[in-house]
Each structure stands twice: as C-alpha cells, then as structure tokens.
A and B are shown apart, each in its own frame.
Chain A
Amino acid sequence: MSVLIFIDVAEGHVKKASLEVLSYGAKIAGQLNIDAEAVVLGSVTEDLAALGKYGVKKIHHVNNEELNHFDAQVFTKVIGEVAKATGAKVIVFSNNVDGKAIAPRLSARLKAGLVTGAVALPDTSNGFVVKKTVFSGKAFANIAINTDIKIIALNPNAYQVIAGEGIAQVAPFDATVDSSKIKVTNVTKAKGEVPLTEAEIVVSGGRGLKGPENWGILEDLAKALHAATACSRPVADAHWRPHNEHVGQTGIAIAPNLYIAVGISGAIQHLAGVNRSKIIVVINKDPEAPFFKAADYGIIGDAFEVVPKITEAIKKIKGSA
C-alpha cells in the first residue's frame, strides 16, 4: 500500500509544483501510516534520489523516450500500471496543466474518486474528505471520496514545500508504453520569464495604465521582484497584452504569495482569478475602486508616479541585502 505521487517534469527538470505535491503526498502517507512513493516518466536530468528530502521513500522511474512528450492517454496507462503494482491507495497530482489532463483520465481508468483543485490535506477522521476551491475561489467545498482508491489534484501554491532529510530509492519501472497519437509540431516558451501559474509574485496591470506603451513601468517592477506579469480582461481584449497574461474568472486563476494590481478596478470576475493570492496590493487613483476591499495594502494615487518609486525602493532593499 502506498500514496503514489506524480512527479511532473519539463525538459528533464522537476517542476516546482512537483515539490509541493511530494510534500503534500508524504504528509498524507504519514496520516495513513503507509509509504510515500512516486512515479516519474521520461528522461530526467536531475538527481531523483535527492527528492527523498521531501519525504518520498521510493521513486519508480519509467525512463522511456516516448514519454518525453506529454500525452495524457499514454501517461495515464503507464501511471495506472504503476498504481496497480504499488497498491496505491491515494494518488496525488498537481492541478497544473498536465495534472488537469491526466488525473481525470486516471479516475475513469481506475474508477477512483477524484477531487481537483484541493487546497488542504484530506480529513481522514471520518471517511476521506478533501477541501477544494469552488465558484472560482469565491467559496470552498468539502468533498468525500467514497472509493477504495482516491485521486487528488492539488492546486499550485496551495501547500508549502517541506524539505527535511532523506534519500529516495530510485527504481526503474518497466511499463508498456503506447506510441502517442498526438504529434507535437512546435513549442514556444517565453524565454527567461517566470511562468504565471508558478510565479511567487505577480505584477498585473489594467486599463488604468492607458495603453500598451506604458507597460514599461510594470515590467521594471516585475524585473526588480523577479515576478511574472499579468493583466486584466479588458487589457487582453484590447490586445494591449497577450491573452495568456489574462488573469480572472475566464482567464488564468493564480495564487501567488504577492499580487500587485496596478490600475485594475477589481471587478468580481477579476477577483475570482486572484482571490487565492496570499497578499494583495492595489494601486489605483480611484479611492472607490472595489479592489481596495479585497486588498491587504493599497495606495490611492497615480500609478505613473508611484510605481517607479516602488521599483527604486525595492532595488535599494535588494541591492543592500
């Protein structure tokens, strides 16, 4: 019996979200008094054994080149085999891009109850109940999983990475790997930038910035904080910024440690995408902007004057540290 954790990699590197699920899965294994094991697919350039410090005892590595390209159908079959071989009782994914595609497939394959968007450890005092966000972060629900095998997809940035001591045993796992029916023809990645969903800090702009030519002050701030940049829906709709930067109910939902909103009024649809941020800072010249009600810190003032000063002050602190 085990808790089986899916380690998600990109180009051989273990994603940050995987460290969160390793920590989370290891904690559940402790709750249930069973071992934490993990599965990783495809080539990995990092030292897998070192991941033992997050509490995982054994890592099953299916090192097959076919698995270097993501295909939910192929991955699901392989993970299903590993789950059977290890007697997995709980299977944990990150609720990231890959996890959102595999976890439901595996749920159907194993007929295992699934909760996606989990934000806390399961309550095992009476059954197996997982807390998740619903209504785009405006509420949460407690979901009981009533099947023998349980699958959880944990929201990114919802669980703290816990590093201790330990070395994991890495064991090759020989699985049947189907050839993918999906052919990847092109991959584009924003070079050197922080992916929005994994970013600890996000700097976001709205219509208050008046035009795409004014984004320089936000980019400078983001650079000083090593943050990702985002925007509100009207900004994406006006093509001031690309659609993949749009955060909100119909865009990307994020949960960074720090969210700085500049010139965004804070419509309910925007809040739905950012309300899981730990600290929200709002800079707006309109004191009536609804966003101030959801903020932790705020400045009522002109972004064009305030933001460059903030950037300078941050550089000063970072420079002296």
Chain B
Amino acid sequence: MKILVCISKTPDTTAKIAFTDNNTKFDTNGVQWIINPYDEWYSLVRAIELKEKDASVIIHLVTVGTADAEPIIRKALALGGDEAFRVNADSQDSFYIASQIAEIAKQGNYELIFTGKETIDYNGSSIGGLLAELLDKPYVSLATKFELNGNKAAITREIEGGEEVCEVELPVVVSCQKGVAEQRIPNMRGIMAARTKPLKVSDPVAADTLTSITGFGLPPAKAGVKLVPADNPEELVRLLHEEAKAF
C-alpha cells in the first residue's frame, strides 16, 4: 500500500500579509514558513495513522517548490513520511503544479493520494481535482473522515448542510480537512531519523501555465466599530434593522 501526500509551503497563519514590487509580489520579509496546515494536520497525520495500523504502508511526500521548501519537507519526514520528492520549480499556476505532481504520481503507482482541502495562501482548493482528472481517477473532496477496508476506502465528506458517507475502490484522490486527523508534533526520534530519509530532487516536466497573477491588493480598512452601551441592546437591534438593514 503506497500513499502519496502532497504538501505545500505556506506562510504561518499569523504572518503579516503585505506586498512588494508595486503590489505584484508577496512580501516574504520576516515571514515564518510552515507546512500548509490542511496538508500536515489532516492528510499527512492520517497517512501516518494508517501506517501505524499496517506497517506495510509506505508514505511518500511530494512538493513543487524551490530549495527553500526543504525545511518543511524535513519536518514532514520527521512527522512520519518515508521518502520525499521535490520538483524543483517555482510556479503559482495550479495546472502547472498539478501536472508536476501527476508525473510523480504516475511513476509511483500510488493507491491513495492525499491533498489538503486548500492552501492557506492562494486558497485555490484545486490541486486535488486537477490531479484526479490528469490521472483519470475518482476524487472525493473535503473529507472529514477516512477509513480503509482492504482495497476500499470509506470516506465521510462535507456537503451543504450535512455530511455524506461514501465508499470507493482504490486508487482514489482525496482532499482532507478538519476531522480526518489531529495535529501532531514531531518527536526527537523522528527529527533525527528525518535527516537521513531520502529527499529526491527532480527537474520539472514540460507543462503549460494557464493563468498568471497580475497584482495583489488589501481589502479596504473598516471605518471603525460603533459601540452601543451594554444597558441598551435594543439600540443595537434598531441600528442593525434600520441603519445596516441587516435583517
């Protein structure tokens, strides 16, 4: 049983969001980089749990990025990946990135491919779907629970206003979110072991870039809060009804 976990490097959740070069580039000055939380807390940890139940499970990690992504790959290996691939490319186009991962996926013949439900920087939530189509595999998105029964997966996924449980034969591509697993912290043994685990770097394959970022912006600042005294909550209701027309 081979699992491929796709991971991405993102700014820390508390990072200050600012832009440089006439608002065309994200300002990385002082930014701490982390593994995208959906990739780490849910997909990767679930893969590790599956390996803990069945030692024959092999976990491969893949990221598309430049050498500065290596610290987060080492952290993912410390948590419990067996081997990692880094495709040495710098792109913000999801089709290009998915094409690179698809190439790794084809070579490795994985039964299960996990992605996070989205990255917290570009919020595309598209790599899983792109990858599934490029590989012509079923795709179950926004999973909140994942169980393996032999060559079948039982997956609970989010739907509007509820949940759906479904069964699918492997191989399958799954995007994971909260509920699938719980965040873990790597231990010292894992950190030591990660130093010698294989991290293979490859050049990107030829692929098209379908989109490009022309610029960034910040939302307009709020005008400021209008405070209502605590002994007159009826005034708040009046403002919401008459001024804001919110209900």
A interface list, Cβ under 8 A from B: 10, 15, 70-73, 76, 95-97, 100-109, 111-117, 129, 132-147, 181-190, 193-198, 201, 225, 236, 243-244, 246, 249-251, 257-258, 268-269, 272, 275, 278-279, 281-282, 292-302, 305-306, 309-310, 313-314, 317
What would 14 more interface pairs be, CB under 8 Å, given A135-B17, A145-B210, A250-B37?
Answer: A10-B160, A101-B141, A108-B131, A111-B95, A111-B210, A134-B216, A135-B11, A136-B120, A145-B211, A293-B225, A294-B222, A297-B240, A298-B227, A299-B233
Contact check, B129 vs A108: say whether CB atoms are below 8 A apart.
yes
Q: Which residue of B lies closest to A226 (CB)?
A: B247
CA distance A294 to B220 in the complex (A): 11
Interface of A is mostly: mixed
Contact check, B165 vs A184: say whether CB atoms are below 8 A apart.
yes
A sample of 20 inter-chain contacts (CB < 8 A) reads A72-B139, A73-B133, A73-B137, A76-B133, A97-B159, A100-B125, A112-B210, A113-B210, A134-B123, A141-B217, A144-B214, A182-B167, A187-B163, A250-B38, A257-B246, A269-B13, A295-B222, A296-B225, A298-B228, A309-B233
Q: Which residues of B contact A111 (CB under 8 A)?
A: 95, 208, 210
Q: Given contacts A135-B120, A139-B17, A184-B165, are A300 and B213 in contact (CB under 8 A)?
A: no
Q: Which residues of A contact B142 (CB under 8 A)?
A: 97, 100-101
Q: Let me know if B100 is at the binding interface, CB within 8 A.
A: no
Kindly count the residue-residue contacts between A and B in the assembled complex, taking CB atoms under 8 Å apart: 273
- A92 nearest CB across to chain B (Å): 15
Contact check, B130 vs A107: say whether CB atoms are below 8 A apart.
yes
Partner of B166, one of A106, A141, A185, A275: A185
Contact check, B161 vs A258: say whether CB atoms are below 8 A apart.
no
Partner of A134, one of B121, B161, B247: B121
Q: Which residues of A contact B138 (CB under 8 A)?
A: 71-73, 181-182
Q: Given contacts A105-B130, A139-B219, A186-B165, are A117 and B123 in contact (CB under 8 A)?
A: yes
Q: Which residue of A lies closest to B163 (CB)?
A: A188
Closest 7 CB pairs of A and B: A301-B230, A104-B129, A195-B161, A113-B210, A189-B162, A104-B126, A108-B133
CA distance A71 to B120 in the complex (A): 26
Contact with A along B22-55 (1 / 0, CB 8 A): 0000000000000001100100000000000000
Q: Given contacts A115-B211, A300-B230, are A136 and B222 in contact (CB under 8 A)?
A: no
CA distance A132 to B98 in the complex (A): 20
Which chain B residues (116-173) contact chain A, with CB distance < 8 Å?
120-134, 137-142, 144, 154, 158-169
Q: Given contacts A114-B94, A309-B233, are A190 and B161 in contact (CB under 8 A)?
A: yes
Which chain B residues (206-247) contact chain A, with CB distance < 8 Å?
208-219, 222-223, 225-231, 233-234, 236-241, 244, 246-247
Q: Which residue of A lies closest to B212 (CB)?
A: A144
Q: Given contacts A71-B138, A310-B237, are A15 and B126 in contact (CB under 8 A)?
A: no
Q: Which residues of A contact B95 (CB under 8 A)?
A: 107-108, 111, 113-114
Q: Which residue of B lies closest to A199 (CB)?
A: B161
- A76 nearest CB across to chain B (Å): 7
Q: Which residues of A contact B229 (CB under 8 A)?
A: 299
CA distance A171 to B126 in the complex (A): 31
Q: Which residue of A lies closest to B132 (CB)?
A: A105
Q: Let me know if B178 is at the binding interface, CB within 8 A.
A: yes
Q: Which residues of A contact B240 (CB under 8 A)?
A: 258, 279, 281, 297
- A127 nearest CB across to chain B (Å): 8
Q: Which residues of B contact A293 (CB under 8 A)?
A: 222, 225
- B89 nearest CB across to chain A (Å): 18
Q: Let me know if B14 is at the binding interface, CB within 8 A.
A: yes
Q: Given contacts A101-B129, A310-B233, are A201 and B246 in contact (CB under 8 A)?
A: yes
Q: Which residues of B contact A139 (CB under 8 A)?
A: 17, 19, 216-219
Partner of B160, one of A15, A101, A132, A145: A15
Contact check, B230 vs A302: say whether CB atoms are below 8 A apart.
yes
Q: Which residues of A contact B228 (CB under 8 A)?
A: 297-299
Q: Which residues of A contact B214 (CB under 8 A)?
A: 129, 142-144
Contact check, B163 vs A244: say whether CB atoms are below 8 A apart.
yes
Q: Which residues of B contact A249 (CB under 8 A)?
A: 13, 37, 120
Contact check, B237 vs A313: say whether CB atoms are below 8 A apart.
yes
Which chain B residues (86-122) contact chain A, with CB distance < 8 Å?
94-95, 98, 120-122
